[in-house]
Amino acid sequence: MRVRGLVQGVGFRPTVWRLAHACGVVGDVRNDSDGVLIHAWGDAWTLQRFIESLSAECPPLARIDAIERHQLSEAAEASDFRIVASVTGNVQTGVTPDAVICADCAAEIATPADRRYRYPFTNCTHCGPRLSIVQAIPYDRANTTMAAFDLCDACRAEYEDPADRRFHAQPVACPVCGPRVWLEGRHGARADGDDPCRAASLLLRHGSIVAVKGLGGFQLACDACDEAAVARLRQLKRRERKPFALMARDLQAIRRYCTPAPTEVALLHSAAGPIVILQADGAQCVAPSVAPGVGTLGFMLPSTPLHRLLMESIDSALVVTSGNTSDEPPCIDNADARARLGRIADVFLMHDRDIARRVDDSVARVVQGEPRVLRRARGYAPAPLLLPEGFSETPAVLAMGGELKNTFCLARNAQAIVSHHLGDLEDALTYADYRRSVAQYLRLFDHEPQTVALDFHPEYLSRKIGYDLAQTWQVPVVEVQHHHAHLAACMAENGVAFDALPMLGIALDGLGYGDDGTLWGGEFMLADYRGFTRLGTFKPVAMPGGTRAIEEPWRNAYAHLMAAFDWRGFTRQYAGLDVQKFLSRRPRAALDTMIAQRVNSPLASSVGRLFDAVAATLGVCRERVLYEGQAAIELETLVDRHALQDDGDADAYPFEIVSTMPDGLRCIEPRPMWEALLDDVLRGTSVPVIAARFHKGLAIAIVRMAECLADLLTGSVDARSVALSGGVFQNRILFEQVAGRLGATGFRVLTHRQVPANDGGLSLGQAAVAAAQQRHGF
């Protein structure tokens, strides 16, 4: 029997051994390049019971995608059932993601009589490091960073006992033979004492910043209720306003600050253990500097034994953020951490187990009752995603991803391996990490690309690397338009078959390079995997200053207002408004010249920039943003939920749908929205009510456009299915409004759950498009 799926490094072979003995089956089981191979002999009834029990009693971290049965002609050579050595070869199977500490291991480190009492590297086949320590496949100890630690007799006995839950648990260790943890000062002197985690906890409670060597990289921690400590961390880390992640000892501690719903509780307790975005509606508050300007908190529970021991005596929450300065990748090496974090951390909680690759914490949120991944890393990557029906002959593809929130993707034979989150390639260290990670994954999965897929944008670094690699390997390149990739990722994740009819897609984001050379970001398409037709868009508006318009939202506000009015008309109608006074002090003549002559002022149909313009008009992040998406996030936070729900649609700001684009595209024109919004400002309507009316009006316009386009579609198309993708749909209010209204009008709505709607999902879409186009010889 051939078992495919996530079946290596998760205790699958010992489970097979146990079930075989229980059922009276003889034979053997082994890991190989395609998954797990089982030779089993028994009568028909015994073998059937054995196969059924494999699916019913699959280990918690395993996932069976398929069990293929082949009749053996030879007679049984074995009198019992054995686990035999792994077989090397052309690797097809996946590496299991790192998993949070399981209940059994947690009980052991809390039991004084246990030999692993308070040991911070306790693990078994049901939990512990995987991706962060593996260096090659098959996943055996010799191919991990645990190879440096020889097993003691007691650990070896567990490792070799098929009845033990540590049977072939590659990172197995104990205080006698395993890695060591210690506490050291910023100048390298090790602290005295035999319990570094307890000592670090005490320092945290007294206002220190502690650099913690976590599972996939260093983290910086401080008391989340100590404003002085949090403010100092912000200053030293150069992270002025972006919200910090939090860790709490248990669910009871989280409930002081938030009231998670059952689905959110399940997500917090899942084997992935992501940071979960929760409403900050509890009885207590963390320090104001933890998450300024937003109404949510990102909480996670301790993911490793080390974190569990660190949190044991801490009743409040900790800030636990990446061990880096702003926009750099986190440190993974002890020497690098000392050099880069020495000016930030007061002390270091170090250990001597090497980290094979940098893996950030994942981020997820429950929306419409379903968990949705916002950043796919620890706990999720690199678990393979099954591609839909028709992709079984997928050639080996390397998809390079985008520029921001980068991931890349390896695809072949109906599965896609999306890498862990890497970050923004504009940073030199992240760029170097990206190049290194691509090479590691190609080696780790023995992947030899026959095609390289990349984004249209001529300046993307991922594109340039992709072309270099394709030239080196002498393989073709497939260029994939940014928003087509977004929609293809959503379709692939939702199981849309390879040969399905083209469907509607709505892709809303900050920016993506269009096939006409302009910047897109508010797109309505008819798409399948092979191609797309652009059906509609938002009115393109100039971005005076180019990238400066992304950093300084007032520039978008000026461009949008001047596209809706002229300065004289705007001043005549809205003289005295705060935004009019602010813009009157800006270099308007220079801006007007730039816009008129298209000097560093590209046109963009971006909904992300529309959000920036509205926010700046209302005084939210007007002068500059301090992190990507800040203006839109803070505008969403301000929305008056009662106005959103109780006023019906009458007060929603209107948008027009027009057909005045040069190429005949239908276009959403925001001028009526601006008039209604500014009239409300003039009347003294509160910003939260205005924000609600904007969100609702925008959602209504998007749904109206979708209905209009669906009514116009003829021929062999799926006009009643629509895929939603792009980073703007991570705005919970807009997403719920659009998805809910589309569903109510009879559309089948496809949305993201397993991969992010933002650019973290681009690589999956690129891979699917490249596979489809190569198969059809495009």
Strand partners, 400: none
pLDDT at residue 93, as a whole number: 52
* Superfamily name and number for 541-716: ATPase, nucleotide binding domain (3.30.420.40)
> Among 357-361, 711-715, 751-755, where is mean pLDDT lowest?
711-715
Q: Are 229 and 222 in contact (CB under 8 A)?
A: yes
pLDDT at residue 510, as a whole number: 96
Q: How far is CA 150 from the centre of its chain?
A: 36
pTM summary value: 0.95
d(CA 33, CA 14) in angstroms, rounded, equals 18
Backbone torsions φ then ψ of 711, nearest 5 degrees:
-65, -25
What average pLDDT does range 674-697 have in this prediction? 98
What average pLDDT does range 225-234 have in this prediction? 98
Tokens of 546: 């180019």
Q: Is 708 left (phi over 0), alpha (psi -120 to 50) or beta?
A: alpha
Q: Which of 610, 616, 731, 620 is nearest to 671 (CA)?
A: 610
d(CA 194, CA 373) in angstroms, rounded, equals 39
| Residue 492, pLDDT above cutoff 80 | yes
State the fold for domain 2-83. Answer: Alpha-Beta Plaits (3.30.70)
Common-topology check for domains 2-83 and 384-494+758-775: no
Mean pLDDT score of the chain: 95
The set of catalytic residues is 13, 31
pLDDT at residue 87, as a whole number: 66
**552-589 tens-digit pLDDT:** 999 999 999 999 999 999 999 999 999 999 999 999 99
**47-77 tens-digit pLDDT:** 999 999 998 998 888 888 889 999 887 877 7
Backbone torsions φ then ψ of 458, nearest 5 degrees:
-65, -20
**510-522 tens-digit pLDDT:** 999 999 989 999 9
State the fold for domain 181-351. Answer: DHBP synthase (3.90.870)
pLDDT: is 194 or 777 the higher one?
Answer: 194
**599-626 tens-digit pLDDT:** 999 999 999 999 999 999 999 999 999 9
Helical ranges in 424-566 per DSSP H: 428-444, 461-473, 482-493, 547-551, 553-564
HEC profile of 674-731: HHHHHHHHHHCCCHHHHHHHHHHHHHHHHHHHHHHHHHHCCCCCEEEEEEEECHHHHC
Q: Which of 765, 724, 770 is nearest to 503 (CA)?
A: 724
- Dihedral in degrees, nearest 10, Cα atoms 103, 104, 107, 113: 180
d(CA 530, CA 514) in angstroms, rounded, equals 17
Q: Which of 573, 682, 552, 680 is nearest to 615 (CA)?
A: 552
Q: Are 219 and 330 in contact (CB under 8 A)?
A: yes
Residue position matching structure tokens 């391996």? 417
Residue position matching structure tokens 């962060």? 132
**396-420 tens-digit pLDDT:** 999 999 999 999 999 998 999 999 9
pLDDT at residue 91, as a whole number: 45
Residue 362 vs residues 303, 342, 346, 757: alpha-carbon distances, Å: 11, 26, 26, 14
Q: Are 731 and 514 in contact (CB under 8 A)?
A: no
pLDDT at residue 434, as a whole number: 97
At 449, is the secondary structure helix, strand, or coil? coil
Q: What architecture (CATH level 2) is domain 384-494+758-775?
A: 2-Layer Sandwich (3.30)
pLDDT grade for 4, boundaries at 50, 70 and 90: confident
User: Using CA of residue 393, residue 398, residue 401, residue 407, what is the dihedral sign?
Assistant: positive
Q: Where are the domains of the chain?
A: 2-83, 181-351, 384-494+758-775, 541-716
| Residue 456, pLDDT above cutoff 50 | yes
Strands 666-669 and 385-386: unpaired
The percentage of the chain sitting over the pLDDT mark of 70, rounded to a whole number, equals 98
Q: Residues 6 or more apart from 429 whose CB is under 8 A from it?
A: 328, 329
Which amino acid is residue 548, in one-letter code? R
